[in-house]
Amino acid sequence: MSTAPALDEKIKTVLRDHGRLNKDAMSLNPDADLYQAGLTSHASVNVMLGLEGLFDIEFPDQMLNRSVFSSVQAIRSALLELGVAA
Amino acid sequence: MGQPERLRVGIDLVQISRIRESIAAFGERFAQRLFTAEEIAYAGAEEALAAERFAARFAAKEAALKAFGLSHAGIDWREIEVLRHADGHCSLRLHGKANSLAGAPLDHETALSLSHDGDYAVAIVTALIAAPPITTHSH
């Protein structure tokens, strides 16, 4: 599976702007646990809205769960599933 | 004799100023994505109180997800609605998937309490849920 570095950078930018993490979002490993990095339920909503605005998408109900926003890698998989280009 | 029941609890704390920032950053989409039309009408009725009312209601939804064990179920926040009654007390109404996964209406009893002070809003949800049948395993 592609690591989709360009997409990961966009995801990290949204995390930097809206995630309120306790570490530098731009240097996160793709599999780093975002909840361990300080992502709250409210901040995850902001991240979701930031991603929806950036990519002009809407996360469907089944993706509105903690695991989808648990890591850069998990977010990337969800975005690819929604048709966002890597 | 009725089914055995289990008491579940969920709590969530939300910083009101963060909600205010979200409203500023995302505009109406923030409220429309998370809240029902009735919740938006109540919270938006007094602009000065909108952020704390949205904060308390968001906390209630998150507390309900915890109480019902639905954090991984993929639930639209609008399926968990906070109702405000004439005497000022609030209760929960579940819709759609949230309602079906939490159990049939007769199978659970819920209670909700909201509070806020300064920059924080908190919600606690308790739920009495019919316990699943006990399964036994032979070894």
Q: Quote the ipTM score.
A: 0.84
Tell me the average pLDDT across A52-80: 95
Q: Quote the pLDDT of residue B67.
A: 93
Cross-chain Cβ contact B26/A49 below 8 Å? yes
Q: What is the CATH number of domain B5-130?
A: 3.90.470.20
A49 part of contact set with chain B, CB < 8 Å: yes
CATH superfamily of A5-23+31-81: ACP-like (1.10.1200.10)
Residues of B in contact with A52 (CB under 8 A): 29
A56 part of contact set with chain B, CB < 8 Å: no
- pLDDT tier for residue A25 given thresholds of 50, 70 and 90: very high
pTM of the model: 0.88
Q: Quick one: which of A81, A42, A44, A85 has its CA closest to A62?
A: A81
Residue to test with chain A: of B76, B78, B80, most A Cβ within 10 A: B76
Q: Quick one: which of B65, B44, A62, A17 has its CA closest to A9?
A: A17
Tell me the average pLDDT across B49-73: 95
